[in-house]
Structure 1
Amino acid sequence: MEFILQPWPWYVSGPLIALVMLLLIYFGRTFGMSSNLRTLCTIGGAGKYSEFFRFDWKAQRWNLTVVLGAIIGGFVATQFLSDNSVIALSAETITDLGKFGFTNIGENLLPAEIYGWDNVLSIKGLSILIVGGFLVGFGTRYAGGCTSGHAITGLSNLQLPSLIAVIGFFIGGLIMTHFILPLIF
């Protein structure tokens, strides 16, 4: 029982993800969160305004369980599988984040310096959300999928475009971390 009520190690969660991928491949399905956004927009009537949203969303209805599972899984993980311990970060990461003005580093997953209401509702916070949301939306459409779709499904199916996209995601993450984040904070 103690094992269940703590964060699961990679050697448990990794094979479970692999099992899900094998089942998806067996049933001829693909997985990705951004495709769910397209489905939800189509359900909401976006097909009236854009050809991209004119498709049979009912054929993708099964994929909406991914959204529901992510919500339920996130709740279960934070409420029942978290031991509320400090996140293990390297001393260098703690020092770097401290230079940006972060305090209580590693004590929670959502630092108040970014996710606190005072920061979210500021001009800077709203600007980051709007620009970041646009870039994520544009990027997932331009790349033909999101990080989960390419890194999990695409690489599992040995798709070269997904490998190229994942390499691009990592390069973008490095650029964000080392060049853009210091400008923002």
Structure 2
Amino acid sequence: MPLILNGLEPIPWWLAGAGIAFVTLALLWVSSNRLGVSTGFENVCSLVVRAPYFGRDAIRGSNGWRLPLLGGLVLGGFLSAVLGGGWEPTWALGMFDTAIGWGPAGKVAWMFVGGLLIGFGTRLAGGCTSGHGIFGLSNLELPSLVSTVSFMAAGAVTTNLIYRVIV
């Protein structure tokens, strides 16, 4: 099945999985650090906010590896878009526009509230989907299993509420 953007064929799932496993194991082997992105927000904030919370050694000490990881994620996404046929900012949100049809201000509000809820869930679970779903599950950690199942269930319920009940 082609990708939504540009009709390109996606890379095989097994190759993407092997790539994620390689990055996870390389990070663990090279720096003895766990893969996870949510703490990266704290790392970025520590660059500009001088609050004591962001000055903790746990945050400042991980800037050397987590900031390049985050930069690589952004750069990789950008390069993928450009090399895959071009990148262009847009307000188009596909099915959301068709089903709900809010204007730009409504979309910004929707994304802001969604971001708050994702941030709350990440803090409540003690980590993000990448940390729990990739690294925690590979270590057979029960809290990661509970968190990942909760993330997936919340996504399924939210999608069904929006596209089957509200619309």
State whether TM-score is above 0.5: yes
Aligned-residue offset at 1:35: 0.6
| Code of the aligned partner of 1:121 | P
Q: 1:169 aligns with which of 148, 151, 160?
A: 151
Determine helix, strand or coil for the equivalent of 2:56: coil
Closer/same/farther in 2, CA of residues 40 and 113 from structure 1, 3 Å limit: same
CA distance in 1, matches of 2:103, 2:68: 29
Does structure 2 conserve the Cα–Cα contact (< 8 Å) formed by 1:21 and 1:156? no
Could you give the per-residue CA deviations for residues 75-133 of structure 1, whole angstroms, max 9, x where no partner exists?
221122469xxxxxxxxxxxxxxxxxxxxxxxxxx635658xx95623x3233122112
CA distance in 2, matches of 1:144, 1:29: 16
Higher relative contact order (CA 8 A, sep 6+): 1
CA distance in 2, matches of 1:119, 1:66: 35
Could you give the per-residue CA deviations for residues 11-45 of structure 1, whole angstroms, max 9, x where no partner exists?
32211211121222323201212110011122222
- 2:104 corresponds to which residue? 121
RMSD after superposition: 2.8
Closer/same/farther in 2, CA of residues 183 and 129 from structure 1, 3 Å limit: farther
- 1:143 corresponds to which residue? 125
- 1:160 corresponds to which residue? 142
Structure 2 unaligned blocks of 5 or more: 1-7, 87-91
| Code of the aligned partner of 2:118 | V
| Code of the aligned partner of 2:16 | S
Count of residue pairs brought into register by the alignment: 150
* 2:69 counterpart of 1:66: yes
Does structure 1 conserve the Cα–Cα contact (< 8 Å) formed by 2:46 and 2:60? no
CA distance in 1, matches of 2:112, 2:157: 19
Structure 1 unaligned blocks of 5 or more: 84-109
Determine helix, strand or coil for the equivalent of 2:62: helix
CA distance in 2, matches of 1:46, 1:135: 25
- 1:47 corresponds to which residue? 51
Aligned-residue offset at 1:46: 5.0
* 2:87 counterpart of 1:80: no
Q: 1:12 aligns with which of 8, 11, 15?
A: 15
CA distance in 1, matches of 2:85, 2:108: 30
| Code of the aligned partner of 1:23 | A
**TM-score scaled to structure 1, two decimals?**
0.68
